Amino acid sequence: MCIKIFRKVSSSMRNTYCVTKVLFQYLEVPLSVNIRISSVMHEAIVPNRTSATKVGIQTDIRQTAVARDAYSGTKKSTSSVNHKLEGSKEKFSKDVLEYLNSKDYLKSVLYCLPQKLLKRKRSNPDALYTVDRDVAKKLVDVIALDVVKGGAPVFEVNPGLGFISRELLAAGVQRLWLSESSLAFSQQLKDLKTEFTEKIEIVNKDLFTLPKLAFQDNQDGGSRVRSLFRGVPKSEWKDDPVMKIVGVLPSLSFIKYIIQSHVFQHGVMALGRPEFYFVMTPAHYFCLTCQPGDGYFFYRSTSVLFQLIFEWCLLEKLPRTGFLPWEMKRGTKRWSKVAKVHNIDPGTMYLVKIVPRKNFFQTVVSADQLQPLWFFVRHNLISRKNRVIPQLEIYSLDRKWIPGCGSRFIVDGMTIFTQFGDLTPQEILTVFHKFISWPEYGVCPFHAVMETTFMRMESGIDSTGKDSDDEIEEDEES
């Protein structure tokens, strides 16, 4: 922290006031708190800025930290919490605070909630937390029988205050891994561990950040992902689910990760078939399950691959108020591309069961053709307006995949104007099976282009383009 603050301060440090102002900003201490700066610091800064500045900053950090602790306190009383929130410079949402104060069981833990959870978010948050006991009980009541069945290890992502955790244990879960990276909830996790010593394991990582950990493993040959699942035995794909994961999805990045994990057989999907119980927004559910008629902006490669690989079921609709942070209130602009999807079931969250198809390698594609299928879908749906016949006949001006193959599709009723965005996932799968069945497939440039793409992915450069959910997230943030 000292190094970070020193970098920020050094360019503008002229007097004690400048230092104090910057420290207030980066340590988040309200200006109303009166901190007395030591004269030693002022004397150390002026004569020798190179060496003594750092000493001065460290001295002030200790004083500021003490003042901040005195200001924040650890009292759990409602009045102390409200005083802290009112004195902070952060702009909290009034309706969020009113909702939390309406729950008697939240008044004693309101002080430990990260301040970013008390503000409405326009873009996708880093994590979503369940803060309503009634919502947690309703959620677990729906999934309890399936989660307990078979005795597979259960992972809960971002348990936060532990409301879902307690309900899962009460429902009969014998082994529960709690994946939580936020230190703000460390006391709640310790209390759970003390109460259920033999049933709980705490993982100080957010499983929804597996894409980042997998990339780091790929770069340095590490085993970060595997270490998170060291208690999970590897099983065959056709066996019962190897583990069950419960959590609230903040975005679709984890869904993309498990798709790639299945395609390249690494990470969580290499252990066997997991079973997922995710709470997600209606917008994310729509993007995963939409069809060609729902619009080119939403129907992309992630939609197609998800529907080919997984089976899913919408189990329950839950109130959005039970999960923090809340979304920013949106205007209904007619020209907004995402206006349609954000008007689906406002004020609700969807509880969805997602399971990889048990017979995937028999009914969808064989293991040796899984990666070509992934590349075929990704490449041809970079633009949903790509026409099927020209796309498969001519890859570029100087490269032709399978010249003259268009007539074979026309015989089946396809026209020269048919676009990939017009085809359902099953129809795209049918086109792929025809494509790889032709004699020319073995020697066409398709393989070279695919291998080049994989090499670029290995180096951290994915040239296959963006999906619709990427664009939706960018539109939300703008």
206-222, pLDDT tens digit by residue?
Answer: 999 888 888 888 778 88
pLDDT exceeds cutoff 60 at 239: yes
Mean pLDDT of 111-135: 84
**Which tops the pLDDT comparison, 171 or 23?**
171
Q: Give every CB contact of residue 87 below 8 A, 6+ residues apart in sequence.
A: 30, 32, 71
Reference 251, options 228, 279, 232; nearest CA is 279
| Helices and strands: H and E segment counts in the chain | 22, 9
pLDDT exceeds cutoff 90 at 293: no
Mean pLDDT of 220-235: 85
Is residue 130 part of an annotated ligand binding site? yes
**Cis amide prior to 425 (ω within 30 degrees):** no
pLDDT of residue 72: 41
- DSSP category for residue 36: P
Residue 73 gets the label, from left (phi > 0), alpha (psi -120 to 50) or beta, of left
pLDDT of residue 98: 85
**Cβ(164)–Cβ(139) under 8 Å?**
yes
> Following CA atoms 223, 226, 228, 234 in sequence, which dihedral angle do they give, to the nearest 10 degrees?
-170
Out of 3.80.30.20, 3.40.50.12780, 3.40.50.150, 2.60.40.10, which CATH number does the structure's domain 129-362 have?
A: 3.40.50.150
Q: State how far the Cα of 310 lies from the Cα of 416, in Å rounded to an integer.
A: 31
Across 87-96, 179-188, 295-304, the highest mean pLDDT is recorded for 179-188
Q: Give every CB contact of residue 443 below 8 A, 6+ residues apart in sequence.
A: none
Q: How confident is the model at residue 110 (pLDDT cuts 50, 70, 90)?
A: confident
pLDDT of residue 338: 61
pLDDT of residue 91: 61
Lowest mean pLDDT among 1-5, 194-198, 418-422: 1-5
**Which tops the pLDDT comparison, 329 or 378?**
378
pLDDT of residue 396: 56
Q: How confident is the model at residue 97 (pLDDT cuts 50, 70, 90)?
A: confident
**What Cα–Cα distance (Å) separates residue 89 from each residue in 76, 92, 127, 129, 387?**
21, 9, 23, 23, 54
Residue ranges of domains in the chain: 2-72, 78-118, 129-362, 363-477
Across 3-7, 125-129, 326-330, 465-469, the highest mean pLDDT is recorded for 125-129
User: Which helix H or strand E contains 107, and what residues bound it?
Assistant: none
pLDDT of residue 21: 52
pLDDT exceeds cutoff 80 at 1: no
Average pLDDT across the chain, whole number: 78
Q: How confident is the model at residue 30 (pLDDT cuts 50, 70, 90)?
A: very low
Is residue 180 part of an annotated ligand binding site? yes
Q: Give the Cα-Cα-Cα angle 24, 158, 324 (nearest 5 degrees).
A: 65
pLDDT of residue 327: 82
Mean pLDDT of 61-83: 41
Q: How confident is the model at residue 435 (pLDDT cuts 50, 70, 90)?
A: very high
pLDDT exceeds cutoff 60 at 279: yes
Lowest mean pLDDT among 71-80, 99-108, 276-285, 328-337: 71-80
